[in-house]
Structure formats: C-alpha cells, structure tokens
Amino acid sequence: MEVLGLTPALLALFLSFGFMVGVFFGFFGMGGSFLVTPTLLVLGYPAPVAIGSSMAFVFGTASIATLKHHDVGQVDYKLGGLMFVGIVLGIEAGKMLVFGLEALGYAELVVGIAYILLLAAIGLVFTRNALREPEAEDDDTGDDEIPDIAKKIKSYNIPPMVRLTDGSKASLWTISGVGGGVGIVSGFLGIGGGFIRMPAIYYLVGVPLAAAVGTSLFGALMSGAVGAFSYGLSGVIDLGVVTALLVGSALGARIGSAATAYVDEADVTIYFGIMLLLASAAVAFGELATWLAMPILDTVSFLLLIGSALFVTSIILYYGVQSVREQRGRTGTRKKVDG
Amino acid sequence: MIELTAQPAVQAAVVVGLVFVEALALYVGYGAIEERVAPPVLDAIANT
C-alpha cells in the first residue's frame, strides 16, 4: 500500500528526515535544504527530480518561516522585489545547466561534486567557529550598522541607483547581481541559498543585519516559488516526497525554534559542523558507489547521512530536555522556598 | 510519484499552489497543537 505515492518505509524515512531537517532549520536558521538534495540523490532520484523537489520543499519551509517572521522581522520588500528579476533569470540559468548536464549524463556527478565541496566548506566554517575562542567571535558591528565593505561598494554610483526602504541608495546592478548570482546556485543545487544571500545582502547591498535576515528569507520564498514553478514546468517535482518532508519539517522547525530558548547554540555548533563534513563524505561515498560499481558504498553513504543527522537532532533534543529540567526544577525549588 | 496531468504551466502553478496550501495548513495546524500540547509536555519533561 502506498501513501502519497511512497511505500510505508519511504514515507517514514521522509517524515523523520524532514523532522530532523526542520529541527536544524528551526535551531540554526539554516540547513533546511542543503541536506535534502544530496539525500534524494543518494536514494537514487535523478538530479532534476531531487533538485526540483528540494526547491518545492524550500518554498514550503520559507513560506512557513516568513509567516512566523512577518510580525517580528524586518523585511525590505522593495529590495526583495528588485531582486526578483535576477532570481528568475538565475534560477532559470541554474535549471538549464542541470538539464544540459542531464542530457549529457553528467548531472548527478557534477551536482554531487558541487555538494561535496559545498557541504565540506560550510562544515569547516561551522567547525572552525565552534573551536574558536568565544572572545574572537565578538563583533563590534551592531544590527543597525553597515559594514565598511558595503559602504565602499555603495560609494560606486553605477546607475540606475534605487532608494531602499531604509533611505539609503544602492545600484540596481548590485541588487540584480546578488539576486541572479544566488539564483543560479539555488536553481543548480535546489537550495534556498539563505546562507549566501543573507551575507550578500548585508555586505554587498549594505542593508542592516536585522533587515538582511528578513529580506533573505523573503528571497528564499521567491527562489523556492520560482524554482518550484520552473522545475514544475518540466514535471519533475515529486509532490509525495515534498509533502512528507514538509509535514516532518514543519513540526521539527517548531521544536528546533523552541529549543533555542533552552539550548546554547555554542554547545551544539561543533556537532552540526561535523555532521556537514560527514554529509560531504556521504555524498562522496555515493559518487564512488557509482564509479566503482559498489552498491555497498551507497548503503554506507545513506547510513552516514541519516545517522549523522539523527545524532545531531538527538543532541539538540537531549540538551533541550536537560535544560528544561534544570530551569523548571530551579523555578520549582524557588517556588517551594518562597512558599 | 504523484502524477498531475495538465498543461505544463497549469501543472507547475498547481504544484506551487498545493505546496503553499500545505505550508499554510501545517503552520496553522501545528500552531494550534503547540498551544495546547507544549505546556503539559514541558511540565512532563520537568517532572520526569
């Protein structure tokens, strides 16, 4: 019996994997999509299906996050709207690249290698930041300040210049470049691209940090919608996979988000970094399985990917439970003493 | 795989619309569940 076009085993896998991805997204504010495409590739889905389905998943998670962010966040909708054309063109270019490589028979290989490098790079950044002394992480730049590099870029007045919501001016070329550049990466890898877009909006366009986060989220929503539509035109999106992942991730994101109130991010960042490095190795094993015609490596790859994600999710939940007990226990003791 | 048979543009728009409706339903549904379930769950964790 199949549900959503998936066998019970696959349904359970996508629900639980979606939950884990949701916990990461809710807790770290990222990791919602760059684990989905590689997992689908490892499971044997063709690259266009894996990327298209991941883009639809990004659209779903970004919609939920934007709904949550709407009241409290700062979103520069004008800037988001100005990036739209760049996002459309970038995603279309990324998609054409995927289908071109698919026609040549290299899509899974090239996308796989891109993921090995991407996951390793982000994993190294997280691991290095976790190992760095806390003092070194101090940043004097406040939420409303703009970094020097952005001021320098803003000083080059390349017309047409547009006025942003905060009153500052930026070149439409820079804005379109950010939208298009991140769009290509999104369309090629099936990711929201927030981990690139947010710093790009902050450092290149020069939007204050708080607004950059919200605007980047809005950008992910647009990227997901455009990507899902674009890949949907080719009929390669597996709605069953997307639905199962979304059901799991929407729940996981709530729990991950709630855990931020109890768990110190510094305690678990190292595990997240290591998980990304293991995910990079997992994709490499998946590629080797094809090259060497050794299916056992596919199993190793799958276990490494799911196992490491399960481990980090468990760590976050464990720290969360411990912290709830400590904090509530302390409150209970105080109440008893006061009473 | 769930099959949709329609013109590509309509099919793509339906996919985007369905995902958005799912996201909306999950946001509202889980929000309501969280409101009811979160306090007793936190109490249960604290008391075990």
- Amino acid identity for residue A7 in this structure: T
Q: What is the mean pLDDT of residues A82-89?
A: 89
Among candidates B15, B38, B48 on the partner chain, residue whose Cβ is nearest the Cβ of A237: B15
Q: Select from A203, A205, A183 the least CA-distant residue to A192.
A: A183
- Say whether the ipTM exceeds 0.85: yes
Select from A233, A247, A328 the Cβ nearest to the Cβ of B12.
A233
Percent of chain A at pLDDT > 70 equals: 89
For the stretch B2-48, pLDDT in tens is 555 668 889 999 999 999 999 999 999 999 999 999 889 888 888 87
Q: Check CB contact under 8 Å for A225 and B16.
A: yes
pLDDT at A191: 84
Residue A276 pLDDT > 80: yes
Neighbours of A178 (CB within 10 A): 27
- Cβ(A93)–Cβ(A101) below 8 Å: no
Q: What is the pLDDT of residues A182-226, one digit of tens each?
A: 899 888 888 888 778 888 888 888 887 777 777 888 888 888 899
User: CB of A8 within 8 Å of any CB in chain B?
Assistant: no
Between CA A190 and CA A226 the distance in angstroms is 11
A/B interface, count of CB pairs below 8 Å: 95
What does the alpha-carbon distance between residue A168 and residue A165 come to, in Å, rounded to a whole number?
Answer: 7
Could you tell me which of A259, A156, A139 has the C-alpha nearest to residue A199? A139
CA angle in degrees (0–180, nearest 5) for A226-A228-A232: 115
Please give the pLDDT value at position A107.
Answer: 87
Q: What rounded mean pLDDT belongs to chain A?
A: 84
Using DSSP, state whether A326 is helix, strand or coil: helix
Q: Which residues pair with A161 in a beta bridge?
A: A171
CB A47 within 8 A of CB A41: yes
Minimal Cα–Cα distance from A224 to chain B, Å? Answer: 9
**Residues A112-120: what's their mean pLDDT?**
90
Q: What is the pLDDT of residues A139-187, one digit of tens each?
A: 545 555 666 777 777 667 778 888 877 777 788 888 898 889 989 988 8
pLDDT exceeds 80 at position A29:
no
Whether omega for the bond prior to residue B8 falls within 30 degrees of 0, making it cis, is no
- Position B5 scores a pLDDT of 60
Nearest chain A residue to B27, by CA: A64
Task: Return the bridge partners of A171, or none.
Answer: A161
Cβ(A106)–Cβ(A196) below 8 Å: no
Give the pLDDT of residue A339.
47
Q: Is the dihedral of CA A139, A181, A76, A193 positive or negative?
A: negative
Name the residue in chain A with its Cα closest to that of B24. Answer: A64
Tokens of A30: 């990222």
